[in-house]
Amino acid sequence: MKLYICEICGDAYIGGEKPTDCPFCGARNNFIKLADEAKPIVNEKIEISEISKKNLLETLALETRANAMYLCMAGKASEYKIKAMYKRLAKVELEHAVIVTKLLGIAMPEIKSETCADENSENFQKTIELEDHAVELYKKFTSEATEPNIRKFFGALMQVEAGHIELIKNYL
């Protein structure tokens, strides 16, 4: 067994080999390092520019909303596997929100519940819209970030959310 650490969320993974993606935040495994070599972005105190601060707050709003939305969709899911998928998506988005609070050194805001459709198909469509929007936003935020760690964060998130779109497309 080895100890690995994800440089994006800072969470540790114990296993024989590193996973293909972080089980907590979904980051690709090029961000997962042996514990001795990992430099988690949440463990470095850095100056954050005004533009990145603004973009991180928008990210926090988006991720907490996605979390609430996916919890709603999990509740409406007609099959266990869809429910399980949305519960996992909700946890991943919450993890993204937690990373933002650590980067900004702020408390997690109260998360308001969201409404969603009764039908899986409508929720899949809504999920793709949400994730498409996130990918576009994080692409923009990556280019606006001057801090290497913040750029790394938005770049990693962009890949994770694009992966969520691929996943949902399996069900369309």
For the bound state, the minimum distance from the C-beta of residue 5 to Fe ion, rounded and expressed in Å, comes to 9
Distance CA 8, CA 62 (A): 18
Q: Is 141 a binder of Fe ion (CB under 5 A)?
A: no
Token pair of 117 as six digits:
């459709």
Distance CA 50, CA 98 (A): 20
Q: Is 154 a binder of Fe ion (CB under 5 A)?
A: no
- Dmax of the chain from CA atoms? 47
For the bound state, the minimum distance from the C-beta of residue 113 to Fe ion, rounded and expressed in Å, comes to 18
Q: Is 5 a binder of Fe ion (CB under 5 A)?
A: no
The string of DSSP codes covering 12-43 is: EEEESS--SB-TTT--BGGGEEETTT---GGG
Q: Is 25 a binder of Fe ion (CB under 5 A)?
A: yes
For Fe ion, which is the closer residue by CB, 2 or 119?
A: 2
For the bound state, the minimum distance from the C-beta of residue 40 to Fe ion, rounded and expressed in Å, comes to 9
DSSP alpha helix (H) spans, the chain: 50-76, 80-104, 120-144, 148-169
For the bound state, the minimum distance from the C-beta of residue 103 to Fe ion, rounded and expressed in Å, comes to 14
Using CB under 5 A, which of 48, 60, 70, 96 touches Fe ion? 96
Using CB under 5 A, which of 24, 70, 138, 141 touches Fe ion? 24
The answer to whether 39 and 29 have CB atoms below 8 angstroms apart is: no
Q: In the complex, which residues of this chain contact Fe ion (CB under 5 A)?
A: 6, 8-9, 22, 24-25, 27, 63, 93, 96
